[in-house]
Amino acid sequence: MNNKPLSIIGSRWSVVEGQGRGAGAVALEGRPLTSVVEPIIATQGLKKVFRVGKVEVPALRGVDLLVQEGEFVAVVGPSGCGKSTLLHILGGLTPPTSGKVLVDGNDFSTMTDSDRTRFRRHKIGFVFQRFNLLPTLTAQDNIALAQHIQGNGFNPHRFDTVVDTLGIRNKLHHRPYALSGGEQQRVAIARAVVCEPKIVLADEPTGNLDTENSQAVLNMLRALNRSFHQTILMITHNPEAADVADRRIRMRDGHVIPD
């Protein structure tokens, strides 16, 4: 990471000369840009407050985050620290209460719900803890459906590349009930990346798996990151799972904890 302070001007993130709050700091700056660095994910002062009756429950309390294209980042922390809320905001599934979110240069605060839906369809792949495969479809159809939903039609070359990378070719004609948990998660990962999204957001992808299958899935994510330069942000409460990432971001009580 460059040790110069970072600045946000409009929708441009840049490295500028001068004094700041240290490496990775995010600050407003009014002078011209010197060199431009555009992280694929950037947040500033991100807050999320849920209201339960008359009670306000803060989930995020001012999160500043930068992720560069091609990084594999693990966000770790105990249950209730705000990890999943952060992922949902970065995926455009829920809006923040305040703060700024830029994903692949797009400012979510200026986008309508339909704009964010189209953006997700083309730019973001999701991997969930519970797999979320359609039970009446085969593995092949679950994966291919993602390409059709995106709107660009079936791409056999990309399909074959992903299937072979994840080692599931001999499982393509099986329905989810005939697959192990690890195999279902590999199908879910294939569905997430088959449309060549810029970002994969993985929410506890090993949470329902035993140790052996967990390691296999983590190895697959690492292989996708290296083979396709795939940007991955993974949420996990398991420090061992986070070891496969390039770096980890620790959260507690809605804050990012400095290393």
CATH code, 178: 3.40.50.300
What does DSSP assign to residue 98? E
Q: Give the mean pLDDT of 66-92.
A: 95
Contacts (Cβ under 8 Å, ≥6 apart) of 122: 150, 195, 197
State residue 16's pLDDT score.
Answer: 36
Q: Give the mean pLDDT of 239-251.
A: 94
The answer to whether position 208 is within a domain reads: yes
Between CA 32 and CA 13 the distance in angstroms is 12
CB 129 within 8 A of CB 164: no
| Residue 31 burial class via C-beta count within 10 angstroms: exposed 0-12, middle 13-18, buried 19 and up | exposed
The answer to whether position 46 is within a domain reads: no
Nearest to 225 by CA among 66, 1, 68, 64: 68
The answer to whether position 253 is within a domain reads: yes
- Count up the domains in the chain and report the number: 1
Model confidence over 183-230: pLDDT tens digits?
999 999 999 999 999 999 999 999 989 999 999 999 999 999 998 899
Instruction: Name 75's bridge partners.
Output: 235, 249
Q: Give the mean pLDDT of 14-26.
A: 35
State residue 258's pLDDT score.
Answer: 86
Between CA 123 and CA 126 the distance in angstroms is 10
State residue 36's pLDDT score.
Answer: 58
Model confidence over 23-68: pLDDT tens digits?
333 333 343 444 456 899 999 999 999 999 999 999 999 999 999 9
pTM score of the predicted model: 0.82
Whether the pLDDT of residue 18 is over 60: the answer is: no
Structure tokens at 148: 């059709």
The answer to whether position 161 is within a domain reads: yes
Structural element, H or E, at residue 214: helix 211-228
Q: Which residue matches tokens 């009446």?
A: 136
Between CA 177 and CA 43 the distance in angstroms is 39
Model confidence over 133-168: pLDDT tens digits?
999 999 999 999 998 888 777 788 999 999 998 999
State residue 75's pLDDT score.
Answer: 97
The answer to whether position 193 is within a domain reads: yes
What does DSSP assign to residue 155? -
The answer to whether position 53 is within a domain reads: no
Whether the pLDDT of residue 20 is over 90: the answer is: no
CB 33 within 8 A of CB 16: yes
The answer to whether position 91 is within a domain reads: yes
Q: Give the mean pLDDT of 172-190.
A: 95
The answer to whether position 3 is within a domain reads: no
Q: By residue range, what is the domain housing residue 215?
A: 70-257
Number of residues in the chain: 259
Whether the pLDDT of residue 123 is over 60: the answer is: yes
pLDDT band at 239 (very low <50, low <70, confident <90, very high): confident
State residue 59's pLDDT score.
Answer: 96
